[in-house]
Amino acid sequence: MKLRQYQVDAFASRVFEGNPAAVCPLESWLDDDLMQAIAEENNLSETAFFVPADKGFDLRWFTPASEVDLCGHATLAAAHVLFEHLHHPGPHIAFNTRSGTLTVRRKGALLEMDFPIFPPKAYSESDTLARALGRQPAEVLRADDYLAVFEDEAAVRAVKPDFALLNALDLRGVIVTAPGDSHDFVSRFFAPRLGVVEDPVTGSAHCTLAPYWASRLGKQVLSARQVSKRGGELTCELKEDRVLLAGAAVTVLQAEMTL
């Protein structure tokens, strides 16, 4: 079997920035174990698979370790492949996923994704998290991930986690965030339980970050940067119980996998 595959840097305007994702267009679903093996072979934070559906496309995401319920950068990458390489007609794409229908539309040079929000709630039992991060956050909240808020961008950049301790926590991952020096906020994201030590740019984390910072700053449109080593930029816009996440994407390579 020959399988076409693309590698796309998402939330990036040039190659070797943002978050790389593999994208595999399919005519029908492969066996789950095979898709997991492909994701493990790619060894990227996410590999996206999609198949045509009655309305749009069915979309699934796999880390090297497991399938996940929501992924922003691989959704952006999948839409980029459909628009740029597979000549999808029209300005919108609808993806059917474990997290409901996610739509992506062209917005000038950017792609804008319509995602759910996951507002965080206060969390008081933060001693283990503070030890895992090597410093005490000013505030800790939780949604699908822990959200550790620090005083400034320098503190976020300086975090050096103990990944064994992070791996023992009960949620998907840990977001660290603070006001940005040149953006409304900055963040980093760690998910060792999913086989992702530090994710370069995490769209799904902004489903929690956006409502937190919108409330704190009194703004509905926010500029964000994830300050990982690769780094990446996105814009967040709150729309009631949804968030619009916009970013650029570039293709790094096209390949054919022999299975």
Both structure tokens of 5: 């595959």
Identical fold, 2-116+245-258 and 121-236: yes
* Mean of all residue pLDDT scores within the chain: 96
* pLDDT, average across residues 103-116: 96
Active site residues: 46
- Nearest 5 degrees, angle CA 114-CA 118-CA 120? 150
Q: For domain 2-116+245-258, which CATH number applies: 3.40.50.300, 3.10.310.10, 3.40.50.970, 3.40.630.30?
A: 3.10.310.10
- Nearest 5 degrees, angle CA 88-CA 93-CA 97? 125
What pairs with residue 112 in β-bridges? 105, 246
Q: Which residue do the tokens 């005519």 mark?
A: 27
**For domain 121-236, is the CATH number 3.10.310.10?**
yes
Both structure tokens of 146: 């822990």
Distance CA 240, CA 54 (A): 28
Summarize pLDDT for 20-40 with one digit per residue, the tens.
Answer: 999 999 999 999 999 999 999
Say if residue 107's pLDDT is above 90: yes
pLDDT grade for 197, boundaries at 50, 70 and 90: very high
Distance CA 19, CA 248 (A): 11
Nearest to 206 by CA among 60, 72, 9: 72
Q: Where are the domains of the chain?
A: 2-116+245-258, 121-236
The residues near 89 (Cβ < 8 Å, ≥ 6 apart) are: none
The residues near 27 (Cβ < 8 Å, ≥ 6 apart) are: 51, 52
Summarize pLDDT for 136-188 with one digit per residue, the tens.
Answer: 999 999 999 999 999 999 999 999 999 999 999 999 999 999 999 999 999 99
Summarize pLDDT for 117-130 with one digit per residue, the tens.
Answer: 999 999 988 889 99
Summarize pLDDT for 244-255 with one digit per residue, the tens.
Answer: 999 999 999 999
CB 64 within 8 A of CB 40: yes
Both structure tokens of 89: 């007609």
What are the C-alpha distances in Å from 35 to residues 56, 172, 208? 21, 21, 28
